[in-house]
Amino acid sequence: MEQPQTVKDCLGWAARDPSGLLSPYSFARRTLGNDDISLTITHCGVCYADVIWSRNKLGDTKYPLVPGHEIVGIVKEVGSGVSRFKVGDHVGVGTYVNSCRDCENCNGGLEVHCVKGAVFTFNGIDADGTVTKGGYSSYIVVHERYCFRIPNNYPLASAAPLLCAGITVYTPMMRHNMNQPGKSLGVIGLGGLGHMAVKFGKAFGLKVTVFSTSAYKKEEALSLLGADTFVLSSDAEQMKAISKSLDFIVDTASGDHPFDQYLSLLKATGAYVLVGFPGEIKFSPASLIIGAKTFSGSATSATGGTKGTQEMLDFCAAHKIYPLIEIVPIQYVNEALERLIKKDVKYRFVIDIANSLK
């Protein structure tokens, strides 16, 4: 019996080879299931993961690749079994769209750490066996469990980076109790992740110090983002002056950098969280053991569970926390990715899908 033809009604932009060059592409989405929602995408954030997989940096890219895992939009259709959403709701989709739903982590609301492996929003294997395709596209079909309600008073464009950059720093900050007013937080690096760590730190009532190797970022850190102190990390005297003064450190730097000098800034029992991705991690055991300090990691590919992500979105809406974004049309996406590589963005690109993908 002849199989019915799928309708390639989803418009997107895709990379076809390791050059990573994106261009228009039409494809079919999977059929709406009982527990799925179909989301008209209005905006999609641009993450460095889009560069990594579009250019096959890890050697596992399945072309054609449609990137994008900071997805927001409006529900256009719901399956018969959907209970959490209705047509017209504002909804977000983050870095994963499926998991086993049966392991300890899934049952604990940490689906991103699914023992059998979470299914990534793009370049993963979808419920119907097809390769998942991300948010550089007109719509997406996702099981309701992996969708998040965006408060109506929160701008959709601003919500997009929260689904990756925001939750990447929020999750470990909450895990290590970095929400205690009056405590001190150090933020290493002032990019997409770092600027969100500063914003969360200030919302939690922390005294925030920003570390950077770039002196020109002082004005941004203090005036634009409201940090309390700026330290040029290449200045030994400035670093020595704040020895053993911090309760927490969030390290968003991905370039190789020394860790011992930063660990020396923590008070006894202080917590250091690495969310960047340097080439190696190397420090003296004494830097950790003396002072009973904690060093842990969290990454953009393992952002946060469904429970924590919804909590973060509600927190941002309640406290009026907005990432700083540059909105661009889909036709500018190749230039945006090049600028992202050069760190020429303050602080996150967001693609206006609804008004440019026609």
User: What is the token pair recorded at 320?
Assistant: 């009026």
Strands (E) in the chain, as ranges, are 10-15, 22-27, 36-45, 71-78, 90-93, 96-98, 119-120, 139-143, 147-149, 184-188, 207-212, 229-232, 246-251, 266-274, 294-297, 325-328, 348-352
- Confidence (pLDDT) at 138: 98
The C-alpha atoms of residue 275 and residue 176 are separated, in whole angstroms, by 13
Residue numbers of the chain with a pLDDT score lower than 50:
1-5
For each of the domains in the chain, give its residue range(s) and CATH number, in order of start.
10-164+322-356 (3.90.180.10), 166-301 (3.40.50.720)
Q: What share of the chain is helix, strand, coil (3-state, %, to 5)?
A: 30, 25, 45
- What pLDDT is stored for residue 167 in this prediction? 93
Q: Take residue 261 and report the two structure tokens written for it.
A: 């000098």
**90 vs 84: CA distance, rounded Å:** 12
pLDDT score recorded for residue 4: 44
pLDDT of residue 302: 57
> Which pLDDT does position 299 carry in this prediction?
63
Q: Is 168 exposed, middle or buried (0-12, 13-18, 19+ CB in 10 A)?
A: buried
* Alpha-carbon distances of 263 from 34, 240, 298, 340, rounded to whole Å: 50, 12, 17, 29
Q: Rounded to an integer, what is the distance from CA 99 to the centroid of its chain?
A: 18
pTM here? Answer: 0.92
Residue with tokens 């899908």: 353
C-alpha–C-alpha distance, residues 183 and 205, integer Å: 8
Residues linked to residue 22 through DSSP beta bridges, in sequence order: 15
pLDDT for 184-226, tens place per residue?
999 999 989 999 999 999 999 999 999 998 899 999 999 999 9
